[in-house]
């Protein structure tokens, strides 16, 4: 059985992620979307919230599961019996990072390979940071994320109130 994991932070999941997951799932028997619990970045959503949002985003795609993990991605892949790690590429800078990660992972676990899928053109601009920044500035994210994620963003930002997002790393569409 061909098993792959698609790891990431998914804070929050957006259409670009779903597109990669859908396409990767067509290549394997079982795809596990692996939500990284404690990345080295400030998060807007908890692990449980991110997992639930991804689950809802891929509902109906039967060979995809969602789980959270900590520690080394290759260790998690080994634990679940995956032979591939799927990643998505948007721009050259993604490639540089993924290339370094792939070579590091190869050193750590030579039995696991990385498979990178190119973004679909309509999602090439899309990242979780961009989604958060647009939402925080009061913009509409309906074309970027599933509707349940759009509602979750609205409610989380409402709870945070004034100064929202000051502690979340953003790119900056406002300056």
Active site residues per annotation:
17, 41, 90, 128
Among the listed residues 10, 45, 76, 84, the single contact to ligand ADP using CB under 6 A? 10
> Closest approach of Cβ 104 to ligand ADP, in Å?
14
Is cis: bond before 113, omega within 30 of 0? no
One character per residue 87-106, x = contact with ligand ADP (rule: CB under 6 A): xx-x---x------------
> Closest approach of Cβ 64 to ligand ADP, in Å?
14
Among the listed residues 4, 5, 8, 82, the single contact to ligand ADP using CB under 6 A? 8
Is 61 within 8 Å of 36 (Cβ atoms)? no
Contact between 132 and ligand ADP by CB under 6 A: the answer reads no
Q: Which two tokens stand for residue 82?
A: 């995956």
In this chain, which stretch among 44-52, 58-66, 70-78, 123-131 interacts with ligand ADP, using CB under 6 A? 123-131
> Closest approach of Cβ 6 to ligand ADP, in Å?
7
Radius of gyration of the chain (CA): 16
- Using CB under 6 A as the binding rule, the residues of this chain from 16 to 35 that contact ligand ADP are 16-17, 20
Is 122 within 8 Å of 149 (Cβ atoms)? no
Contact between 50 and ligand ADP by CB under 6 A: the answer reads no
One character per residue 55-94, x = contact with ligand ADP (rule: CB under 6 A): --------------------------------xx-x---x
Tell me which residues touch ligand ADP (CB under 6 A).
Answer: 8-10, 16-17, 20, 87-88, 90, 94, 119, 123, 126-128
């Amino acid at each position: 059985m061909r098993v792959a994991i698609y790891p990431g932070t998914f804070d929050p999941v957006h259409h670009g992620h779903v597109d990669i997951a859908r396409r990767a799932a067509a290549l394997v028997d079982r795809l596990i979307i692996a939500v990284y619990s404690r990345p080295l970045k400030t998060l807007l959503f908890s692990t449980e919230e991110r997992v639930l949002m991804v689950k809802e985003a891929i509902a109906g795609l039967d060979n995809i599961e969602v789980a959270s993990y900590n520690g080394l991605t290759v260790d998690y892949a080994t634990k679940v019996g995956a032979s591939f790690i799927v990643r998505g590429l948007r721009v050259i800078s993604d490639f540089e990072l993924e290339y370094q990660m792939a070579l590091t992972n190869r050193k750590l676990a030579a039995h696991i390979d990385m498979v990178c899928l190119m973004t679909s053109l309509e999602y090439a601009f899309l990242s979780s940071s961009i989604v958060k920044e647009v939402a925080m500035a009061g913009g509409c994210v309906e074309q970027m994320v599933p509707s349940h994620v759009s509602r979750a963003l609205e409610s989380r930002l409402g709870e945070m109130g004034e100064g929202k997002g000051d502690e979340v790393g953003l790119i900056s569409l406002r300056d």
